Amino acid sequence: AQSVAQPEDQVNVAEGNPLTVKCTYSVSGNPYLFWYVQYPNRGLQFLLKYITGDNLVKGSYGFEAEFNKSQTSFHLKKPSALVSDSALYFCAVSARKDSNYQLIWGAGTKLIIKP
């Protein structure tokens, strides 16, 4: 079965330190990978995506993500965390299903940045 895993329910990082939020996937065919962020009582906001090409993709708010095909991972990273980065982060993959496609979501990771 096609799936997305975010192995950490919560990640705690001190402000100014680098952060990583992990995501692994299992899909057939070439994956199209996405990261979304959700602030309290808000809808999800698109951060970045990997379609093809350079394995390191850059997105909004200084975030970037590294696609690793051999490890089937797409970890979200930021060199220097801000308190305002505290939010829920979701990884998703777009994958073929029958003659169509579907979005498969991870369970989410709560990122807490401490001052």
Partner 1 sequence: DTGVSQDPRHKITKRGQNVTFRCDPISEHNRLYWYRQTLGQGPEFLTYFQNEAQLEKSRLLSDRFSAERPKGSFSTLEIQRTEQGDSAMYLCASSLGTLETEAFFGQGTRLTVV
Contact residues toward partner 1 (CB under 8 A) are 32, 34, 36, 41-46, 49, 51, 88, 90, 94, 96, 100-103, 105-108, 110
Largest CA distance in the chain: 48
**What minimum distance in Å lies between the beta carbon of 44 and partner 1?**
4
**What minimum distance in Å lies between the beta carbon of 17 and partner 1?**
24
* CB 24 within 8 Å of CB 7: yes
**DSSP-derived secondary structure for 10-71:** EEEEETTS-EEE--EEE-SS--EEEEEEE-TTS-EEEEEEE-SS-SEEE-GGG-EEEEETTT
Q: Which of 85, 88, 65 is nearest to 76 (CA)?
A: 65
CB-nearer residue toward partner 1: 70 or 100:
100
CB-nearer residue toward partner 1: 40 or 115:
40
**What minimum distance in Å lies between the beta carbon of 115 and partner 1?**
23
CB-nearer residue toward partner 1: 18 or 22:
22
CB-nearer residue toward partner 1: 36 or 74:
36
**What minimum distance in Å lies between the beta carbon of 95 and partner 1?**
8
3-state secondary structure of 8: coil
